[in-house]
Amino acid sequence: MKIKILTICLLGLSFSGCEKPETHEGAGADWAHYLGGATSNQYSNLNQINKENVKKLKVAWTYDTGDSGHYQVNNLIIDGKLYTTSPLSRVTALDGATGEHIWTFDPSDVHGQLAELIPRGVMYWKDGNHGRILTMKGSYLYTIDATTGQLITSFGKGGWIHLGEELDVEGKPNAYLNTPGHIYKDMFIIGSNVGEDVPGAIRAFDLKTGKRKWIFHSLPRPGEPGSETWPENYLEKAGGASDWSGLAIDIPREIVYVSTETAGPDFYGADRYGENLFANSVVALDANTGERLWHQQLVHHDMWDLDLPTPPTLLTVQHEGKKIDVVAQGTKMGLLFVFDRVTGEPLWPIEERPAPESKIDEVKTWPTQPFPTKPPALTRQKYTENDYSNISPQAELISKDVFNKLGNYGSYPPPSLEQTIIFPGYDGGMEWGGSAADPNGILYVNVNEVPWFYQLIPTKNPDGSPLSYGESFYRISCAACHGTDRKGSPSDGFPDLTNISERLDKDMLKRLITNGVGRMPAFNHLPEDRQDAIISFLLGMETIDTPQQFDFTIPVPKHGEEEEPSEKEERPVLSYFCSSCDLMPYTFRGFQRFNDNEGYPAIKPPWGTLNAVDLNTGTIKWKVPLGEYEELTERGIPITGTENYGGPVVTAGGLIFIGASSDEKFRVFDKETGEILWEHDLPFDGHSTPSTYAVDGKQYVVISAGGSKMKPIQGGMLVAFSLDE
């Protein structure tokens, strides 16, 4: 029936299913869903805190989780109780009015040491009078009683399911979920983080039993729609294309919208040449069955890690004299695409523009990339002579010198063995914090404007001889984050490994590789000899030459078996990135920012902004810097903005609440003008999206403050604010 209704709507004919009551979903007293609601619109109907009294905001309470790390959680508040998950994934319930501790659940008490992946929230479902919390750690998803914090043992295998199961692949690969999904009817719908040799998928599970109800293969299987955009035997050469950044649901229309990531391997695409559907796409699915309704791909044949980094945002706009329900999708390139929610048609034309051709013969780029004609890009689209840093003579000289040597091609630099600037870069543009949508069609979104470097490197020595066993697999599995020089990027959570032998011994390294830590996933799927070779290389103990042949199989549980299977089967598991990476002639050099001599971005400010985009007209209403380096302000430099991670919340009180910036500040902006109305110091950077709620008629706003991508200081504090009575 749904397909018939959609067909009638596409034809422009009248039918009761084409239109729904004009509503703008917003959170009320409860903030019961990740990013405020199923629409992921980060909007609250509360207005007790407003423009007239916001200067009276004060700290109501604080709570220390006791953990330290990247604390990026958008907290849930239901019936006066706040639910958070700490930097180490311990779930805690608090009194929302006082911050008083109620209970804590630690997944490690169930499964011991598990891989850490930065958690961004939990899911909540109420079955009659009983509330359930769904939380994740490692490859496990747990269901616990919202009143007691105890496992609900009737769910899954005693209270939990393994997210690597029910992926329609052999075995039980690692699959993670740091961004929560959404609840729909008696299901929870999720994407997942998978290794780039594992085909991605969107799945719905039964909330009571944990059994899978449907699956959409975001990396299609042979014969499925989209498979024609991949080369022969593509499943042997690629994976990924999952949804890690989140999703949104139009509950009345029963449509779920997902935003997908790059296909694996991220930076080498020669073995997967094609458009690569449904990677880098907005996909609309039937929420009851997972059937695809429409899609729009926003990056073709991605080889630059340009995942769609934010959940889709649902809102209503006035377009050409009509009210239209739309879905808005931001990108790392600072572009904003807007589509009709039912038909998938863009509100404004999308142009396919020529893209630079590869400088490596065997690595082909797709000839064009899509660009929206409206709204304007929220970031500069290319580093030019006008973008040299102006914060000091030295910074300007560095900018000019590097630019003249390397040049810039925007976000799509051609694959090359020579280093170039990529701008906008790997961390946006937009990032995972999401966008806030006002009922009047205005979208509020924060962006980064920071340049990075891009370069591919050979996986052999310059003379063509093979690298040592350990170094070759270090480059394949580790160099993308820690660099071929092993210096990493400590400010991004990628430690310097050059002197790791002074800090860790072989056994400690083995535990880290097996279990993961911080931003690093578990690499327990790598063969034992490969792990040992990488460790020996890092410790300077490697003595073996590269073998001509390797045993590329490890035992894995058969599909559907328990944790301790009695029988095992063999399957190829080559590297974290893809099943053919051992044959790759080139790999990514690693994530490197383009900074000046003082460590600031080597580009003219602003480096981070908050934007109001009028989606009724496709214009930018206002743009202001977000964040401040006080030491630069004291030197007479106008406010530069900072890199920012986490998103805004907009309210009926006319306010925008946002942390996100890298200066340990929490701010309130006037949604009409972009003027800062109030700000307060935080104990750590608030790299998270805040929540606002009410208890006993009193409005609060709370933010998670913890680890920073920009500095080594880490923590795990909740800070709640309310009006000073």
> Domain coordinates of the chain in residue numbers?
456-589
DSSP tag of 389:
-
On the CB side of 535, CA atoms within 13 Å amount to 19
Cα torsion angle, 331, 333, 336, 337, sign: negative
Does the domain formed by 456-589 have CATH 1.10.760.10?
Answer: yes
Q: Are strands 182-184 and 193-194 parallel, antiparallel or unpaired?
A: unpaired
Q: Point out the least confidently predicted range of 430-444, 564-578, 671-685.
A: 564-578
Does the pTM of the predicted model rise above 0.75?
Answer: yes
Q: Is 549 a residue whose pLDDT tops 90? A: no
Q: Give CA–CA dist 618/609, Å, rounded.
A: 18
Q: Token digits for 664? A: 């340990």
Task: Give residue-wise pLDDT tens across range 327-342.
Answer: 999 999 999 999 999 9
Of 222, 365, 225, nearest to 281 by C-alpha is 225
- pLDDT of 521 reads 62
- How many C-beta atoms surround the C-beta of residue 13 within 10 A? 9
Task: Give residue-wise pLDDT tens across range 119-144.
Answer: 999 999 998 889 999 999 999 999 99
Mean per-residue pLDDT for 668-688?
98
Secondary structure of residue 469 in the 3-state scheme:
helix
Q: Give CA–CA dist 182/190, Å, rounded.
A: 7
Q: Give CA–CA dist 171/191, Å, rounded.
A: 19
Q: Is 163 a residue whose pLDDT tops 50? A: yes
> What kind and span of H or E run contains 508?
helix 506-515
- Could you tell me where the beta strands, DSSP code E, fall in 271-425? 281-286, 292-297, 313-319, 322-330, 336-340, 350-354, 368-372, 420-422
Instruction: Work out the pLDDT band at 558, boundaries 50, 70, 90.
Output: very low
Cis amide leading into 429 (omega within 30): yes
Mean per-residue pLDDT for 636-645?
98
DSSP tag of 54:
G
Instruction: Work out the pLDDT band at 251, boundaries 50, 70, 90.
Output: very high
Instruction: Work out the pLDDT band at 699, boundaries 50, 70, 90.
Output: very high
Instruction: Work out the pLDDT band at 518, boundaries 50, 70, 90.
Output: low
User: With DSSP H G I counted as helix, E B as strand and the rest as coil, what are the percentages for the chain, rounded to 5?
Assistant: 15, 35, 55
- pLDDT of 525 reads 61
Strand order in the sheet with 281-286: 247-250, 255-259, 281-286, 292-297
Give the list of residues 6+ apart from residue 581 with CB closer than 8 angstroms, or none.
197, 265, 268, 476, 477, 574, 575, 587
Task: Give residue-wise pLDDT tens across range 73-123.
Answer: 999 999 999 999 999 999 999 999 999 999 999 999 999 888 888 999 999
- CA torsion, ordered 380, 382, 388, 390, to nearest 10 deg: 10
Instruction: Work out the pLDDT band at 587, boundaries 50, 70, 90.
Output: confident
Of 277, 385, 372, nearest to 620 by C-alpha is 372
The residue written with tokens 């999952």 in the block is 242
The residue written with tokens 């590789």 in the block is 513
Task: Give residue-wise pLDDT tens across range 392-424.
Answer: 999 999 999 999 999 899 999 999 999 999 999
Which residue has better confidence, 546 or 590?
590
Q: Give CA–CA dist 271/290, Å, rounded.
A: 29
Beta-bridged to residue 151, according to DSSP, are 144
Q: CA 620: distance to chain centroid?
A: 24
- pLDDT of 559 reads 28
End-to-end CA distance of the chain: 55
